[in-house]
Structure 1
Amino acid sequence: MLAFSNLTNLQGQTKSQNPVMGYAQASYMGLADNEFMKNWLILGPVQLDEEAIKADDSRQKILFDRDAFTTVAVHSGKSIGAVKIDNTEYTWEPIRSEEGIVDLSKLLGKVEYSIAYALAEIRMDVPAKVIVGIGSDDGIKLYLNGRLVHQNWIGRPTTPDEDIAILNLKKGSNQILLKIQNMEQDWSFAIRKMGKESLKKALIESSGRGNLDNVKILTDDGVDLNAPDDSGLTAYQSAMIRGREKIMDYLKDKGGRTDIPMPSFKQLVDCIFKNVYSGITSGVSVLVSKNGEIIYEKGFGYADIGNKVPVTPDTKFRIGSITKQFTAAAILKLQEEKKLNIQDVVSKYIPGFPKGNEITLRHLLTHTSGLHSYTDRPSFFKFVTLPISLSALVDTIQAQPYDFAPGNKWNYCNSGFVLLGYIVEKISGKSLAIYLNDTFFEPLGMNNTGIYETNKLIDNEAYGYSFNGNKIIKAINWDMSWAAGAGALYSTVRDLNIWNEALFNGKVLTEESLKAAFTSSLLNNKQKTNYGYGWFIQNIRGSEFISHGGGLNGFLSYLGRQPENKFTVIVLCNSTPPPSGLSPTNSASLISEYILWPEMIKQPTFASDIPVDEKLLNAYVGRYDYGQGAVLTVTLEGKQLYAQMTGQGKYPIFPSSKDEFNWKIVDASVKFVVDEKGKVIYLLHHQNGQQIEAKKLKEEIPVAVDFSVFDKYTGKYDMGNNYVMAVLKVDKKLFLQGSQLTRFQLFPASETEFFAREINIRLKFKAHGEQKADSVIVVISGEEKVAKRVGD
């Protein structure tokens, strides 16, 4: 049975001493443009049956779909009656939020798997149609006078105006009822009538993202099609830059002008950052060059908030994993000097290394070694502020079991580049810092780049920060000896531009080395990865980008190159996570489109009213293998397709054609591919310039077994690398629970073999008679590993 259960009190919320009369202060005489609705009557938390939800996350969606009520009887001057849900009575409490975002975590507590209701009245002198912007964390339903006008089942943080809805308000009293359902962690919501500026911004952003549904709502409401945003960009120009031809045609038909001059490149780039970095906050440094000339460079925000030191193009940031291309270049330079060969096995340079005769330097360069990444160990952050010697760090890597056989998979691995840096030191006889300086930095004039030493002061340094809610604090300060050849460098945007110009113009490595480094590596099964030797190889709208990002506590970075246009973009920031609205990688991608859009291929437009044959929709339903156990599950509800990645929320996807579908919440799409018989065999997932091919998995039908055998399999099993998984029996069902995983149900393929649907994993238990299983073979995306039973 699906069940709700009540909490005994409203955590953090002060109960009113007197009964709520009518709507109390939660009554609005009309709605003012851009003003958030801050006065509400709140009911909750209505906590869902936590054990049932954890055991079966699909129940959250079922409970979201099920409405205990859609309207509330409210009479002026009379108290509102309690609401009964599953034999428990709940009362309404008046609240006033000081912020536009109503923080339910503060009002009701951080109550996971819960529902809250928010009630308000809008009084109108005359009927009116208004557009409201909505943000929620997580799922939300909006009822107007008992009628559902908007819903979105989505896992996300609250961002104002992320959803758009139309309210047809009648003369007199109108009742607004919100249902907010929390999936996990914090929860909140925001709603406001959108004014002229916010509507214009929404139209321009929706046009660029290809969201035809929003564009239609906004244009039908009379939003000025030709009004520019702060950068001077119009909706038509936004669609043109992002390659949304259908939206360009739609706007043109509606009166959108095509002859308005484009804003300058400087205006466009300024606009990305200036609103994000307003006030006293962390900072970002940006540089763009084309054909060897710097066409934009600027700093925003602060390198040192306490002393109000602004960021400039000369500010030194820790660049994290951008370091990997320098370590890779050092290995390739030593190969050019015939001091090593990337086909050499690791044991040649590190005698006694486990499986050292099986993994090569090439495996390390391409993240295909199977080594467990030392930064993924649960205990990593306990020690990261303390110094460690390079030899001790190598020892910790040697002590970890492999994740898979060398060459079988691609899995981002910091351990490999620590070993490469160690090998550079052994072969060259110099520390990595001195080798890189002597070989690259000093000859190129990169005077503001080097290995970061925690106890050594450097001038113009950016300090690392982290956002904790609305408060910014100092980030964990790594001792960078832990990063070594995988991420220990600091640099500036100007030095990184010098590096890219020298590298791509043949002043660092030979043409042969560059070609190898910039070629996507192949796995043992000949499947192509999107990684070369220390560089990602991406395709963004038909243009190849050779790039890398970096990230550690307090710092995020991106360095990318479009070779044909000799175009470089660099974004360095000193906060993790960054301020809301900024991602170095996404910002760099948008900057690239501002310059290169005339040469880039067009992108699809998506909408909910594009017709797709129902037989096709049913054909797309199924599970698709993303590797490493991750599965995208595609389901059909009515005529709406939903997609859910392992461990993530379930989101609707919308058609741009009969076989291509897009998410609205992220700039991502999937294209379903069929064979000559019309059978769906795989999908192509496009996101952030990357393409993933995911094969459709064969659907299995569970066999019937006596659930009493489950008792033999329950317990804890050691997977290695300090990772223990638990097998649990709940309500005659078997479940898999990992320390960092949602609980997944296991279905019997036989009496001893089980599979999951939300994750591509199989468990083959080894039991003797009626005794408890002593081990289990765990098969993740085809890769087997034995896990020993270590307890109940």
Structure 2
Amino acid sequence: MRMNVRDVVEQGLAEGMFAGAVVHVSRGGHEVLHEAFGQAELTPRRRPMTVDAVFDVASLTKVMATLPAVLRSIQLGRLELDRPVLRNITIQHLLTHTSGLPAWKPLYLWAQGRAAYLDRIKAERLDYETGVQSVYSDLGLILLGFVLEDIWQKPLADLTRDLVFAPLGMENTGYLEAGKDAVATEVGNGIERRMCLDYATPCEIAEFPWRTETICGEVHDCNCHYGLQGVSGHAGLFSTAADTARYLQMWAEEGQDFLAPELIRLATTSQTDTTPPGLTRGLGWEVGAWAGEAFLPEAFGHTGFTGTSMWYDRTSRTAVVALTNRVHLTPAANLSTWRRSLHRAAFT
């Protein structure tokens, strides 16, 4: 028997995929589901999830803050896709993750602040020739955040508010504005601490002042928190399911009066032929989605490490926002299989 969306979410809770979730589904621009499930926090206090809960959306920052700010800058004549940023790396290379920059490094172990981060990124050796592969890179989006600050001469938090969130009526979205009642993420930063083992000495890792408390209202990502004071092009954004759905609907409606249809098309259709089938990139967005065993070529979306995702399928005209807290007192579960089930229930 095929499960509906609620069944899939309840199964994820029962299997310990996440402590709680808020899911928003719309079809043809009409809301069909907006519900909270489970717990926003389990320790040190237990709090039930609510539909207006504020989440650390992690890498959804890339497509909710940095991408639209870049596209708006292009639309307003401040930026071009073929503008060189570093060596022969262009804005388009950074948005399509074809720059050659490493996927991730714990730069915060050795650098704090924008200037130090920029120096470290400039000094990085490329992992592959620019334009030859598509490898998802946090470093590339950190760099894009710096580019935006340079061209607008404003902090990233301010320019994304002015260019993106305020015009779209996203009143509960922004950097550094979550408060202690935000949905809890990890207890401490054990996940990233283990990730550092491939990049730093045991002494460097042991001496670092890691957080050990339950993280609420502070960004979970360590490059953003420790290195960049909570604001970055790759992470740091907080939002609600309703605001995220409102943002996704703008894309579903071909930009409304916010982005030109041509920019929408470039961002949501494949701009790479360097990745395996089904894993292509537009500008910022991943193009295509799995719904059970079926592949939906007309879909686009993105995920975030804390357990967040949003996807839109043009064929069924359905949008799905699923915000979870998968790193709170649960293993860092791979949600790919669960998301396939969710998309099958929503899209097919």
TM superposition score normalised by structure 1:
0.36
**Corresponding position of 1:130:** none
2:84 is matched by which residue type in structure 1?
V
**Corresponding position of 2:267:** 517
Deviation at 1:274, TM superposition (A): 4.6
Cα deviation, 1:697-754, whole Å, max 9, x if unaligned, reads xxxxxxxxxxxxxxxxxxxxxxxxxxxxxxxxxxxxxxxxxxxxxxxxxxxxxxxxxx
Evaluate the alpha carbon distance shift between residue 403 and residue 302 of structure 1 in structure 2; reply closer, same or farther with a 3 A threshold. Answer: same
**Corresponding position of 2:309:** 558
Q: Does 1:546 align with 2:300?
A: yes
Is the CA contact 1:557–1:584 (under 8 Å) kept in the aligned structure 2? no
**Corresponding position of 1:340:** 79
**Corresponding position of 1:720:** none
Residue of 229, 235, 240 corresponding to 1:492: 240
Q: Does 1:442 align with 2:166?
A: yes
Deviation at 1:474, TM superposition (A): 3.5
Residue of 528, 534, 537 corresponding to 2:287: 537
Q: Does 1:301 align with 2:41?
A: no
Question: Considering only CA atoms, is the larger Rg found in Structure 1 or Structure 2?
Answer: 1
Is the CA contact 1:558–1:570 (under 8 Å) kept in the aligned structure 2? yes
- Alpha-carbon distance between aligned partners in 2 of 1:363 and 1:498, rounded to the nearest angstrom: 28
**Corresponding position of 1:460:** 181
Deviation at 1:295, TM superposition (A): 1.6
The alignment partner of 2:69 has SS state of helix
Deviation at 1:273, TM superposition (A): 3.9
Deviation at 1:558, TM superposition (A): 1.0
Aligned 1:59-98 pairs, distance under 5 A: none
Is the CA contact 1:368–1:523 (under 8 Å) kept in the aligned structure 2? no
Is the CA contact 1:290–1:568 (under 8 Å) kept in the aligned structure 2? yes
Deviation at 1:312, TM superposition (A): 1.4
Deviation at 1:266, TM superposition (A): 5.9
Deviation at 1:591, TM superposition (A): 2.3
Evaluate the alpha carbon distance shift between residue 362 and residue 437 of structure 1 in structure 2; reply closer, same or farther with a 3 A threshold. Answer: same
**Corresponding position of 1:229:** none
Is the CA contact 2:307–2:327 (under 8 Å) kept in the aligned structure 1? yes
Q: Which has the higher strand share?
A: 1
Evaluate the alpha carbon distance shift between residue 360 and residue 523 of structure 1 in structure 2; reply closer, same or farther with a 3 A threshold. Answer: farther
- Alpha-carbon distance between aligned partners in 2 of 1:577 and 1:310, rounded to the nearest angstrom: 14
Residue of 403, 411, 424 corresponding to 2:148: 424
- Alpha-carbon distance between aligned partners in 1 of 2:324 and 2:71, rounded to the nearest angstrom: 29
- Alpha-carbon distance between aligned partners in 1 of 2:179 and 2:262, rounded to the nearest angstrom: 37
Deviation at 1:276, TM superposition (A): 3.9
**Corresponding position of 2:102:** 372
Q: Does 1:396 align with 2:120?
A: yes
- Alpha-carbon distance between aligned partners in 1 of 2:267 and 2:154, rounded to the nearest angstrom: 24
Is the CA contact 1:407–1:523 (under 8 Å) kept in the aligned structure 2? no
Q: Give the percent of matched residue pairs that are identical in Structure 1 and Structure 2.
A: 25
Task: Compute the RMSD of aligned alpha carbons.
Answer: 3.2
Aligned 1:611-690 pairs, distance under 5 A: none
Deviation at 1:516, TM superposition (A): 0.6
**Corresponding position of 1:718:** none
- Alpha-carbon distance between aligned partners in 2 of 1:417 and 1:516, rounded to the nearest angstrom: 18
The alignment partner of 2:166 has SS state of helix
- Alpha-carbon distance between aligned partners in 2 of 1:368 and 1:266, rounded to the nearest angstrom: 35
Evaluate the alpha carbon distance shift between residue 290 and residue 587 of structure 1 in structure 2; reply closer, same or farther with a 3 A threshold. Answer: farther
Evaluate the alpha carbon distance shift between residue 300 and residue 581 of structure 1 in structure 2; reply closer, same or farther with a 3 A threshold. Answer: farther
Is the CA contact 2:278–2:288 (under 8 Å) kept in the aligned structure 1? no
Q: Which has the higher helix share?
A: 2
For structure 1, which runs of at least 5 residues remain unmatched after alignment? 1-236, 239-262, 347-352, 598-792
Aligned 1:705-720 pairs, distance under 5 A: none
The alignment partner of 1:565 has SS state of coil
- Alpha-carbon distance between aligned partners in 2 of 1:413 and 1:491, rounded to the nearest angstrom: 22
Cα deviation, 1:160-208, whole Å, max 9, x if unaligned, reads xxxxxxxxxxxxxxxxxxxxxxxxxxxxxxxxxxxxxxxxxxxxxxxxx
Is the CA contact 1:557–1:571 (under 8 Å) kept in the aligned structure 2? yes
- Alpha-carbon distance between aligned partners in 1 of 2:332 and 2:101, rounded to the nearest angstrom: 35
Deviation at 1:524, TM superposition (A): 7.9
- Alpha-carbon distance between aligned partners in 1 of 2:8 and 2:92, rounded to the nearest angstrom: 38
- Alpha-carbon distance between aligned partners in 1 of 2:151 and 2:237, rounded to the nearest angstrom: 20
2:214 is matched by which residue type in structure 1?
K
The alignment partner of 2:34 has SS state of strand
Evaluate the alpha carbon distance shift between residue 542 and residue 270 of structure 1 in structure 2; reply closer, same or farther with a 3 A threshold. Answer: closer
1:430 is matched by which residue type in structure 2?
K
Q: Comparing both chains, which one has the higher relative contact order based on Cα–Cα distances under 8 Å and sequence gaps of 6 or more?
A: 2
Residue of 278, 284, 287 corresponding to 2:24: 287
Is the CA contact 2:62–2:284 (under 8 Å) kept in the aligned structure 1? yes
**Corresponding position of 2:58:** 320
Is the CA contact 2:99–2:131 (under 8 Å) kept in the aligned structure 1? yes
Deviation at 1:592, TM superposition (A): 2.2
- Alpha-carbon distance between aligned partners in 2 of 1:557 and 1:459, rounded to the nearest angstrom: 19
- Alpha-carbon distance between aligned partners in 1 of 2:126 and 2:117, rounded to the nearest angstrom: 16
